């Protein structure tokens, strides 16, 4: 049942039409650094895709190549069926919001937003009208006469977004557009941004190293690692079915446990867990991911439980995360709903843990684990 639901979610982007943006085997090196290493990705019209990865993994370089600010060493970029690989940036019909605000410091907010339509030779009255419309859309109507240094970070961010939208791009490329904002404004602005992109029917490629932001915003997430895309999928797929140990550890909090496949399930030290081992053969040594919220606290010990004591507890609001030192030497992270009545379980005696769900994690390409 769950498989069917997830499958439908995965199929959704394809139903929006053929690829609007397609990149194929794109590579870029700077000296000995292979910043982007043979990356391929297709994005449907109207889809919102996020590139997620650690600092230095090649996100900005990839986005700059798509926008036309950096020439690739090899590979191709298509907008629908048009090869734009060597087109100048202005001809690509793509809007770019940079990692730094990059507003023109000597122009007012209105003049910044008006820049692209002016350059395109639009009439003054038409440009003025568009500036006012966009200012309303991003809620900076009252700030149009101010210079960038007279605006807060969040306000500058909105001006930068309006400036990118003023060129009426088909595809919006956003490089960490909220990196300088505090958590509350970020959350508000990202919801607004997603709504705006949907309303205008644009296709968006968004860069962030904030996984919460990526999971909250995107139709699909591409997890990058050292210049390559490690996995592309819906947020649910990336979180629940990581295809490598790297993705399993990178997204969310994880218990990664090695065990041997037996008739009754998976043998992990002294416990026999009845988890779905997905076609692994008897005697195979496999690794499974058990998210902290997928471990339950059992009332009594059994053959399928691990027993231990709580050594730390973190209050997270709706839930409480516990670290349990098990008798068999393993440390497990457990997340349980928090209530006002329950304590943090430290010093409350022994607890028994049983998995509700486990996902078999394939070995990484590199055998270094
Ligand atoms: N112009 C350049 N010259 C030399 N090396 C570069 C240049 N631009 C990027 N690099 C290198 O390429 C790699 C990828 O850089 P990139 O800026 O694409 O990473 P990023 O994923 O955007 O990181 P961050 O999250 O910190 O912005 C890094 O090792 C970086 O040092
Ligand atoms: Mg970057």
Compute the distance from residue 174 Cα to the ligand 1 centre, in Å: 16
Identify which of 58, 71, 179 to mutate to test ligand 1's pocket (most ligand atoms within 8 A of the CB): 58
| 369 within domain boundaries | no
Of 249, 272, 287, the last residue of a domain is: 249
Ligand sitting nearest the alpha carbon of 55: 1
Both 174 and 280 in one domain: the answer is no
| Residue 215 belongs to domain spanning | 2-249
Query: HSE-up of 67 (CA within 13 Å, CB side)?
Result: 21
Q: Is ligand 1 within 6 A of the CB of residue 208? A: no
Q: Is ligand 1 within 6 A of the CB of residue 55? A: yes
Number of domains forming the structure of the chain: 2
Residues of the chain where predicted confidence (pLDDT) is lower than 50? 1-16, 366-369
Predicted pLDDT at 344: 78
Predicted pLDDT at 336: 92
Return d(Cα 338, Cα 58) in angstroms, integer: 39
Q: Are 140 and 157 in contact (CB under 8 A)?
A: no
Both 236 and 315 in one domain: the answer is no
Q: Are 251 and 223 in contact (CB under 8 A)?
A: yes
Predicted pLDDT at 9: 36
Of 224, 249, 274, the last residue of a domain is: 249
Of 228, 249, 270, the last residue of a domain is: 249
**Is the Cα dihedral 276, 278, 279, 280 positive or negative?**
negative
Predicted pLDDT at 2: 36
Q: Which tens digits make up the pLDDT trace of 79-110? A: 999 999 999 998 999 999 887 768 999 999 99
Return d(Cα 251, Cα 233) in angstroms, integer: 13
Q: Which tens digits make up the pLDDT trace of 7-25? A: 333 434 444 457 999 999 9
Closest C-alpha to ligand 1, atom 19: 56
Q: Is ligand 1 within 6 A of the CB of residue 171? A: no
Predicted pLDDT at 364: 65
Q: Which residue has the tokens 């139709």?
A: 219
Ligand sitting nearest the alpha carbon of 37: 1
What DSSP letter does each residue of 69-117 carry, written as one string? SS--SEEEEEETTEE-TTS-GGGS-EEEE-SS----TTS-HHHHHHHHH
| 366 within domain boundaries | no
Q: Are 251 and 211 in contact (CB under 8 A)?
A: yes
Both 275 and 156 in one domain: the answer is no
Predicted pLDDT at 341: 74
CA 361 to chain centre: 19
Predicted pLDDT at 34: 96
């Amino acid at each position: 049942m769950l498989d069917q639901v997830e499958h439908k979610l995965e199929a959704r982007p394809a139903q929006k039409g053929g690829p609007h943006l397609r990149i194929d085997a794109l590579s870029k090196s700077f000296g000995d650094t292979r910043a982007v290493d043979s990356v391929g990705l297709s994005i449907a019209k109207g889809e919102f895709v996020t590139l997620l990865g650690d600092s230095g993994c090649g996100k900005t370089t990839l986005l700059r190549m798509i926008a036309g600010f950096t020439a690739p060493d090899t590979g191709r970029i298509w907008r629908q069926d048009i090869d734009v690989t060597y087109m100048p940036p202005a001809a690509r019909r793509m809007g770019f919001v940079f990692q730094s605000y990059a507003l023109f410091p000597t122009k007012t907010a209105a003049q910044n937003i008006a820049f692209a339509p002016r350059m395109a030779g639009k009439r003054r009255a038409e440009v003025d009208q568009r500036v006012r419309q966009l200012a309303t859309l991003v809620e900076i109507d009252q700030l149009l006469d101010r210079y960038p240094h007279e605006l807060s970070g969040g306000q500058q961010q909105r001006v930068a977004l309006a400036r990118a939208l003023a060129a009426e791009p088909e595809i919006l490329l956003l490089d960490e557009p909220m990196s300088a904002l505090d958590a509350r404004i970020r959350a508000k602005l990202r919801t607004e941004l997603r709504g705006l992109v949907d309303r205008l029917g644009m296709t968006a490629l968004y860069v962030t190293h904030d996984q919460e932001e990526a999971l909250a915003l995107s139709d699909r997430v591409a997890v990058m690692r050292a210049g390559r895309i490690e996995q592309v999928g819906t947020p649910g797929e990336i979180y629940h079915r990581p295809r490598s140990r790297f993705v399993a550890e990178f997204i969310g909090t994880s218990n990664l446990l090695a065990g041997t496949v037996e008739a009754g399930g998976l043998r992990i030290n002294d416990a026999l867990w009845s988890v779905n081992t997905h076609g692994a053969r008897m005697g195979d040594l496999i690794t499974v991911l058990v998210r902290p919220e997928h471990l339950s606290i059992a009332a009594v010990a059994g053959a399928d439980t691990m027993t231990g004591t709580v050594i730390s507890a973190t209050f997270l609001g709706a839930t409480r995360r516990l670290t349990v030192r098990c008798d068999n030497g393993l440390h497990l992270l457990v997340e349980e709903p928090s209530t006002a009545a329950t304590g943090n379980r430290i010093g409350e005696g022994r607890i028994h843990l049983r998995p509700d769900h486990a996902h078999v994690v394939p070995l990484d390409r590199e055998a270094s684990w």
